[in-house]
Amino acid sequence: MFILDVPTDAGRKTLGKVLKAARLSRDWSIDDLVTILCTQVVYRSETGEFVNYHVSKGTISGLENGQRSPRPLLLEAIVAVGYVQHPITQHPYTIEELKAISYEQFDPNTGDWLIPTSNPSRKLASA
């Protein structure tokens, strides 16, 4: 059996606060962030084409308010832009760290892991 982690309600709210604080610390509006994400991030589509990333203000607002679970591509775009920084290293968070915040497995205030993280999908030992 495998355990797969999913964002918790509290984790989504914590991640949202972290993202919003990072945006506001740069004096960016949601419009500014949407423009940056949509103009600076390109991804390879299912057909192999390079496409500008697109996100709406509503999606960013919902994420920052803890109402939406973070989608992997959005987290990758946030990491690519690098505006959300680790409190200790001052380096941009990794996608694993942002996901772990939403799972309540990483403390964004201290930079401490709250559970062992050798493998995000942990296999349970057979009894």
- When pLDDT is cut at 50, 70 and 90, the band that residue 89 belongs to is confident
Domains of the chain: 2-110 (1.10.260.40)
Long-range pairs of 81-89 with CB within 8 A, sequence gap ≥ 24: 81/36, 81/37, 81/40, 81/41, 83/22, 83/23, 83/26, 83/28, 83/33, 83/36, 84/18, 84/19, 84/22, 85/22, 86/111, 87/111
- The mean pLDDT value for 98-125 works out to 76
Lowest mean pLDDT among 38-47, 94-103, 111-120: 111-120
Mean of the per-residue pLDDT values for the chain?
Answer: 90
Asked if residue 119 has pLDDT above 90, the reply is no
What pLDDT score was predicted for residue 3?
A: 80
Check pLDDT > 90 for residue 116.
no
Burial class for 23, CB neighbours closer than 10 Å (0-12, 13-18, 19+) = buried
Left (φ > 0), alpha (ψ -120 to 50) or beta: where does 74 sit? alpha
pLDDT at 81: 96
CA–CA dist 75, 96 (Å, integer) = 9
| Predicted confidence (pLDDT) at residue 69 exceeds the cutoff of 60 | yes
Structure tokens at 14: 């914590």
- pTM for the complete prediction? 0.87
pLDDT in tens, 20-67: 999 999 999 999 999 999 999 999 999 999 999 999 999 999 999 999
pLDDT over threshold 90, residue 85: yes
